[in-house]
Amino acid sequence: MSKQNTMSASRMGSAPVGPLLLSCAVPMMISMLVQALYNVVDSIFVSHINEAALSAVSLAFPIQNLMIAFGVGTAVGVNAHLSRSLGEGNQAEADRAAMNGLFLAVCSALAFVLFGLFAVRPFMASQTDDPAILQYGVDYLSICCVWCLGLFAQCMLEKLLVATGRSTFAMASQLIGAITNIVLDPIFIFGMFGAPRMDAAGAAVATVAGQWLGAAAGLVMNLVWNRDIHFSLRRFRLSGRTIKRIYTVGIPSIAMSAIGSVMTFLMNNILIAFSSTAVAVFGVYFKLQSFVFMPVFGMNNGMVPIISYNYGARKPERITKTIKLAVCFSETIMVLGFLVAQFFPDALLSLFNASPEMLAMGERALRTIALHFPLAGFSVICMATFQALGKGVLALCVSVVRQLGVLIPVAWLLSLSGNVNLVWFAFPIAELVSLALCATFLRKCYREILKPMMAAQPAAAMAE
pLDDT digits 0-9 by tens, 262-317: 898 999 899 989 988 898 899 889 888 888 888 888 888 788 888 888 887 788 88
* DSSP of 113-165: HHHHHHTHHHHHHTT---HHHHHHHHHHHHHHHHTTHHHHHHHHHHHHHHHTT
pLDDT digits 0-9 by tens, 178-204: 889 989 999 999 999 999 999 999 999
Res 448: pLDDT: 87
Res 369: pLDDT: 95
Res 458: pLDDT: 59
Pairwise CA distance, residues 293 & 301, whole Å: 12
- Cβ atoms of residues 445 and 386 within 8 Å: yes
Res 9: pLDDT: 54
pTM of the model: 0.76
pLDDT digits 0-9 by tens, 347-395: 988 888 888 898 999 999 999 999 999 999 999 999 889 888 888 788 8
Spell out the residues 6+ positions from residue 380 whose beta carbon is closer than 8 angstroms to its own. 293, 296, 297, 300, 330
Provide mean pLDDT across the span 14-36. 76
* DSSP of 213-280: HHHHHHHHHHHHH-TTS---STT----HHHHHHHHHHHHHHHHHHHHHHHHHHHHHHHHHTT-HHHHH
Which residue, 24, 19, 13, is CA-closest to 299?
Answer: 24
Q: Which of 162-171, 219-228, 276-285, 332-341 has the lowest mean pLDDT?
A: 162-171
Helix 51-87 vs helix 91-118: crossing angle, to nearest 10? 160
CA triplet 57, 205, 275: central angle to 5 degrees?
Answer: 10
pLDDT band at 210 (very low <50, low <70, confident <90, very high): very high
Res 4: pLDDT: 38
Res 39: pLDDT: 67
pLDDT band at 26 (very low <50, low <70, confident <90, very high): confident
Provide mean pLDDT across the span 245-274. 86
pLDDT digits 0-9 by tens, 77-87: 898 888 888 87
The pLDDT of residue 100 is above 60: yes
Provide mean pLDDT across the span 35-39. 68
pLDDT digits 0-9 by tens, 109-128: 999 999 999 999 999 999 88
User: φ and ψ at 305, to 5 degrees?
Assistant: -65, -30
Res 144: pLDDT: 95
Query: Is the dihedral angle over the CA atoms 221, 227, 228, 233 positive or is it negative?
Result: positive
The percentage of the chain sitting over the pLDDT mark of 70, rounded to a whole number, equals 94
Spell out the residues 6+ positions from residue 333 whose beta carbon is closer than 8 angstroms to its own. 292, 295, 296, 299, 377
Res 242: pLDDT: 92
What is the residue-averaged pLDDT of the chain?
A: 87
The pLDDT of residue 6 is above 70: no
Res 462: pLDDT: 38
pLDDT band at 454 (very low <50, low <70, confident <90, very high): confident
The pLDDT of residue 7 is above 90: no
